[in-house]
Chain A
Amino acid sequence: MNLIPGIGIVRGMSLTLRRFFQPKVTIRYPEVPSDVAVKFRGRLQLLYDENGSLKCETCFQCAQACPIECIDMGGMDTKGRFHVHWGAAETYGERREESALRRSGRPVPDPAYERFAPIDIAAVDSILEDFDHDPAQLLGILEATQAAFDYLPVGALKRISERTGTGYAQIYGTASFYGHLRLGALGAPAAAPSAAPYLAALAAATGAAGRQADA
């Protein structure tokens, strides 16, 4: 078959001609909505790259965009210094695995970090009152908060997000962007909570070492 000269050209041409009449794969999304089942709810999944480390950069954009606020997440910021959270504390990924361990009767590792410390919300509220709850003055609000607390506690950030209606991701992004805004107490970065021992213990307990390699 392959010995006939020009047979490759004929086969290629017939292939393209068949393709010409086949249905097209392009999805014209905004004009033609995709055909999704009514009960489809999707499944959230974090992806790992080829080195086994999590591709998620904890930017919270998914959580912020989620219209029914069903996405919650917690993790380390990109420099591995601070715990950042979105959503109720008991629904963090780590916490979920922990509660699963607890239910299974195995020993539960001691989390090496604390959840964000309770703070005096009234101070934040008065600052917000001064700024008229205006999200456009976010930087001013954050600076005033830092002046009041000496750094930006997670609780204050969550309160600001709640009262101004601004997404937590945006507030966290603003706070972490400016050099003069601190997310941890001054002079105590070394004592900043580290997730590594907790995650290592958790990995040892669950036997899923490879998946947590990056943390």
Chain B
Amino acid sequence: MTVMSRAWGRLTLPGKVIFTAIPLLLAVGVALALVVGILGGPIVELASQYGAVLRFLVAATIILVITIPTAFLIIFMEMKIIAFMNLRVGPDRVGPWGTLLSVVHGLKVLVKEDFTPSGADPLIFTLAPVVVYGSSVMTLVVLPFAPGLFAQDFNIGLLYFFAMGGLAVVGLLMAGWSSFNKYSLLGGLRSAAQMVSYEIPLTLSVAGLLLLAGTMSVNQLVANQSGWFTNWYVFQQPLGFVIFFIAVTAEANRTPFDLTEADSEIVAGFATEYSGMRFGFFFFAEYVNVFIVSAMTVALFFGGWNAPFPFPALAILLDPGSLGIWLLLGIAIVPLVGTLLLSLPFLLTRSSMPAWQAIVLGFVLFNVVVIGLLGVWAFVSFDWVAGLLWFLAKTYVFVFTFVWMRATLPRVRIDQLMGFAWKWLMPAALLNLFVTAGAILVVGR
């Protein structure tokens, strides 16, 4: 009991709130599920009446939840890919191929002391990581993952994206200011300067694309690029893509523009005074940002969820209902026959293997085959599965590129950084805009 009370005493105020809120939320959730289960009809009616609200709640929950595995995956990718590029093996102890190491990192950050410096402004100090993380999560709202699979389709989606991305600056400034540390303040101001100046070429670089597309809805932009991969906007806006990619690298604070919170240096910029999960949230936001900017690059310039070429319609649409009684027979017989067939090679060729082992192996193989076939079937017959796979594949190519750049490029100096944004990127973006506008005038779209 003393252990419990001591642990309770060591928790900070937000920790106490969270630790009481978790069981409360669980209880409320179970109660809700019970209520829905017992009196289902009226609730479903009510839900369909307020469909938009329900959709918003579900989408917000999903968006918040998917950031966790995404960030873990990208952190793992970063560790493993950079290790491979350094001719090292990288994480390989926790989980298969070390995949769980990023989870362990998360747990480690979670159990560390959540320290607030004396003299800091506790409210703003606590809110800053929330703002940074929230701003990156809110940009996820307009990302179209697949046809029909998006949280909200705004007609000003792109504008919303840049606005929410710009909100991160506020969080960084809050973190720097509330830390009661002049180095943190300087770091916060420096990152604010960087992000504000890179927002201008970033926004200008897509202006040409918007002239071409005539819409700001990200969904519509992706839909415009359907068909062959030559329809992708990267082929009409190569300069715009290059500027967008560079500016977005700076916006996501990635190497070579990662001097807002340079990992390898002693003073960690605006995050100097942060520890524990609050520090973890800054990092979390950074890796979610990597995913978001990769996804946005794909959506704007690389066709989003469109396949690079139109697939020939090979959907063998099998309606299970038409099979009648054979469906039941198939469900009864196919697993048995499949397991036996797949265990046959082991039974026949491996005399040292007992029969039950061979049959277990056959069952496992059968499951693998069935899951693979189900995946193929889903890919062929559902648009959104295929779209999601294409979208994630393209996105992770760009995530790989970001990690690859981090493994290669050295950090730039702050004056080089600002000079590059104002002297090179902005004129280039303006040039791109004017050339695009002129071409539209001459050719007439």
Q: Is B87 within 8 A of A13, CB to CB?
A: no
Q: Is A20 within 8 A of B84, CB to CB?
A: yes
Question: B337 on the interface (CB 8 Å rule)?
Answer: no
Question: B170 on the interface (CB 8 Å rule)?
Answer: no
A34: B residues at CB distance < 8 A: none
B409: A residues at CB distance < 8 A: 9, 12
Question: A19 on the interface (CB 8 Å rule)?
Answer: yes
What's the tally of chain A residues with a CB closer than 8 Å to chain B? 13
Q: Of the 9-residue stretches B161-169, B262-270, B400-408, which lies at the interface with chain A?
A: B400-408
In A31-58, which residues have CB < 8 Å from any B CB? none
Q: Is B408 within 8 A of A13, CB to CB?
A: yes
Distance (whole angstroms) from the CB of A25 to the closest CB of chain B: 5
Q: From the candidates B86, B88, B404, name the one contacting A13 in the complex (CB within 8 A).
A: B404
B243: A residues at CB distance < 8 A: none
Question: A79 on the interface (CB 8 Å rule)?
Answer: no
Question: A17 on the interface (CB 8 Å rule)?
Answer: yes
A16: B residues at CB distance < 8 A: 85, 404, 407-408
In angstroms, Cα B120 to Cα A187, docked, is 67
Distance (whole angstroms) from the CB of A174 to the closest CB of chain B: 38
Q: Is B408 within 8 A of A15, CB to CB?
A: yes
In angstroms, Cα B86 to Cα A15, docked, is 10
Q: Quick one: closest B residue to A25, CB to CB?
A: B87
The dominant DSSP class at the A interface is: helix
In angstroms, Cα B405 to Cα A17, docked, is 10
Q: From the candidates A9, A17, A22, A28, name the one contacting B87 in the complex (CB within 8 A).
A: A22
Question: A26 on the interface (CB 8 Å rule)?
Answer: yes
B87: A residues at CB distance < 8 A: 19, 22, 24-26
Q: From the candidates B85, B89, B92, name the one contacting A20 in the complex (CB within 8 A).
A: B85
In B49-91, which residues have CB < 8 Å from any A CB? 81, 84-89
Distance (whole angstroms) from the CB of B205 to the closest CB of chain A: 17
Distance (whole angstroms) from the CB of B430 to the closest CB of chain A: 19
Knowing A26-B89, A28-B89, the reply to whether A19 touches B405 (Cβ < 8 A) is no
Q: Quick one: closest B residue to A18, CB to CB?
A: B85
Q: Quick one: closest B residue to A6, CB to CB?
A: B242
Mask: chain B, 78-117; 1 = CB below 8 Å from A; 0 = not = 0001001111110010000000000000000000000000
Q: From the candidates B85, B89, B92, name the one contacting A19 in the complex (CB within 8 A).
A: B85
In angstroms, Cα B86 to Cα A189, docked, is 56
B86: A residues at CB distance < 8 A: 19
In angstroms, Cα B240 to Cα A135, docked, is 78
A9: B residues at CB distance < 8 A: 408-409
In angstroms, Cα B255 to Cα A16, docked, is 15
Q: Is B88 within 8 A of A26, CB to CB?
A: yes
Distance (whole angstroms) from the CB of A47 to the closest CB of chain B: 27
Distance (whole angstroms) from the CB of A186 to the closest CB of chain B: 55
Distance (whole angstroms) from the CB of B38 to the closest CB of chain A: 55
B84: A residues at CB distance < 8 A: 19-20, 24
Q: Is B81 within 8 A of A24, CB to CB?
A: no
A28: B residues at CB distance < 8 A: 89, 92
A26: B residues at CB distance < 8 A: 87-89
Q: Is B85 within 8 A of A12, CB to CB?
A: no
In angstroms, Cα B251 to Cα A113, docked, is 75
Distance (whole angstroms) from the CB of A46 to the closest CB of chain B: 32
Q: Quick one: closest B residue to A11, CB to CB?
A: B408
Distance (whole angstroms) from the CB of B88 to the closest CB of chain A: 5
Mask: chain B, 387-417; 1 = CB below 8 Å from A; 0 = not = 0000000000000000011011100000000
Q: Which residues of A contact B (CB under 8 A)?
A: 9, 12-13, 15-17, 19-20, 22, 24-26, 28
> What are 10 contact pairs spanning A and B, CB under 8 A?
A9-B409, A13-B404, A17-B404, A19-B87, A20-B81, A20-B84, A24-B84, A24-B88, A25-B87, A28-B89
- Taking A12-B408, A16-B404, A28-B89 as given, write out 6 further A-B residue pairs in contact, using a Cβ cutoff of 8 Å, ordered by the A residue number: A13-B408, A15-B408, A19-B86, A20-B85, A20-B404, A25-B87
9 tightest A-B CB contacts, nearest first: A26-B89, A16-B85, A16-B408, A12-B408, A19-B85, A25-B87, A20-B84, A20-B85, A16-B407
